[in-house]
Amino acid sequence: MQTRIPCVLMRGGTSRGPYFLAAHLPAEPAARDAVLLAAMGSPHPLQIDGIGGGSTLTSKVAIVGPSAEAGVDVEYLFAQVSVDAGVVDTKPNCGNMLAGVGPFAIEAGLVTPTHPETLVRIRNRNTGALVEAVVQTPGGQVTYEGDASIPGVPGTAAPIALRFRDVAGSKTGALFPTGQRTEWIDGTEVTLIDGAMPMMLIAAASLGTDANLPPAAIEADLALLARIEALRLEAGRRMGLGDVSASVIPKPALVGPGTDGATLTARYLTPHVVHRAMAVTGGITLAVAARLPGTVASPLASGTGDARIAHPAGQLEIGLSLDGETVRWASVLRTARRIFEGHLLVRADTGMALPLAAE
């Protein structure tokens, strides 16, 4: 006996995963997480018994529901499902998966579309941030076809403009939770910053490495990864996040000077492997750090105003409005695609107890 759960698989930005309506999943977190682990096939390196892709970028889940808050259309909860451990982390946000929330919400009937585009106001439940998504809806219908392209995704698609508001201090309550723009952990200078994502920034050169290296080269340096993880654990404690050994935040990033017109070069860890492109929330946080004096990123950064973050797949352009340490808003262009829709089947022993049809 298996339980059928309505589900849509979507690509959001450079990530991919199932999108669920909140009403179709258990409300109790432990039961919900058991269902998500079964759905993705975790823990297993290939996620062979689920729909995960064996990578942190394809083991993500978006849970969407209507909002009762004035001026907000929908709520979005992001879940990072571990590939090789039975862990579901809902502490961080994911700006790439967020790119699919607007189209999903419209096609699920949660938002009434308008012509030629529709504004979807999204409250992220992980961090409390408000995000405005502009989705292309000619004739009142979501379209995924267009001329926009983003590094890390083949071809072109309809643009989805995302504007993030109230992002600084999303998890810790302050942009710089320790009150310092730089500090030292075990002899290494770092910036601990909570922009759209709590992060630990390290100049790559200070660890004897290069922010331009391919991800595989960084991942092959086990001593480097162990060093970064030791620093990250202490960074999490200092940022008030407690023991982060089982959490994906704070995210580490190695930074270096920008090339080919980029403001900054970065390698973003998720946190134990290197992102093959750049997380939206990580890119926003890096852009903010690049524009504020006193961080480890600022002396490496070039230009003023908006920022371009170079990553393994290209460059991520971030629009910024800063007022001192206040981030008024940050914007980024993404794309998304609806890949399949139907029902996900999970085993009855996951504890799924909802009045849904059984196979």
The tens digit of pLDDT for each residue in 53-105 reads 999 999 999 999 999 999 999 999 999 999 999 999 999 889 999 999 999 99
pLDDT of 140: 98
Domain range summary for the chain, segments of one domain joined by +: 2-159+336-350, 183-323
Residue-wise pLDDT for 237-251, tens only, equals 999 999 999 999 999
What pLDDT score was predicted for residue 304? 87
Q: What pLDDT does residue 313 have?
A: 94
Q: Is 2-159+336-350's fold the same as 183-323's?
A: yes
0.85 surpassed by pTM: no
Average pLDDT, integer, range 114-129 = 95
Confidence at residue 351, expressed as pLDDT on a 0 to 100 scale: 59
Distances in Å between the Cα of 70 and the Cα atoms of 32, 74, 122, 184 are: 27, 10, 11, 43
Residue 352 has pLDDT above 70, yes or no: no
Rounded mean pLDDT of 172-195?
97
Alpha carbons within 13 A on the beta-carbon side of 324 = 2
Mean pLDDT taken over the chain = 94
Task: Give the pLDDT score at 100.
Answer: 98
Determine the 3-state secondary structure of 232 from DSSP: helix
183-323 carries CATH number 3.10.310.10: yes
pLDDT, one tens digit per residue, over 200-241 is 999 999 999 999 999 999 999 999 999 999 999 999 999 999
pLDDT band at 356 (very low <50, low <70, confident <90, very high): very low
The pLDDT confidence band at residue 170, using thresholds 50, 70 and 90, is confident
Tens digit of each residue's pLDDT (9 = 90 or more) over 317-347: 999 998 877 888 999 999 999 999 999 999 8
How many angstroms separate the CA atoms of 201 and 175, rounded? 13
Under the banding of pLDDT at 50, 70 and 90, the label for residue 283 is very high
pLDDT recorded at residue 358:
41
DSSP 237: H
Which of the two residues, 107 and 259, has the higher pLDDT score? 107
DSSP assignment string, 74-88? EEEEEEEE-SSSS-E
Query: CATH for 2-159+336-350, among 3.10.310.10, 3.30.1490.20, 3.90.1150.10, 1.10.10.10?
Result: 3.10.310.10
The secondary structure of residue 69, as a DSSP letter, is: S
- pLDDT, mean of residues 43-58: 96
Residue 264 pLDDT level (bands cut at 50, 70, 90) = very high
**Chain position carrying tokens 């993705």:** 40
Kind of pairing between the strands at 117-124 and 88-89: unpaired
**Model confidence at 186: pLDDT above 60:** yes
pLDDT at residue number 46: 97
Q: What is the pLDDT of residue 359?
A: 42
Handedness of CA 315, 167, 81, 7 (dihedral sign): negative
Q: Taking a C-beta distance cutoff of 8 angstroms, is the pair 157, 241 a contact?
A: no
Strand (E) or helix (H) holding 267 = strand 264-268
CA 94 to chain centre: 2
Kindly indicate the confidence band of residue 357, based on its pLDDT and cuts at 50, 70 and 90.
very low
pLDDT at residue 355, as a whole number: 42
Give me 349's structure tokens. 């022993």
Q: For residue 325, count other CB atoms closer than 10 A to its CB.
A: 13
pLDDT reported for residue 216 = 97
Please check the confidence at residue 166 and state whether its pLDDT lies above 80.
no
Query: Can you give the pLDDT at residue 1?
Result: 82
For residue 348, pLDDT over 90 is answered with no
Each residue of 269-304: b (16+ CB within 10 Å) or e? bbbebbbbbbbbbbbbbbbbbbbbeebbbbebbeee
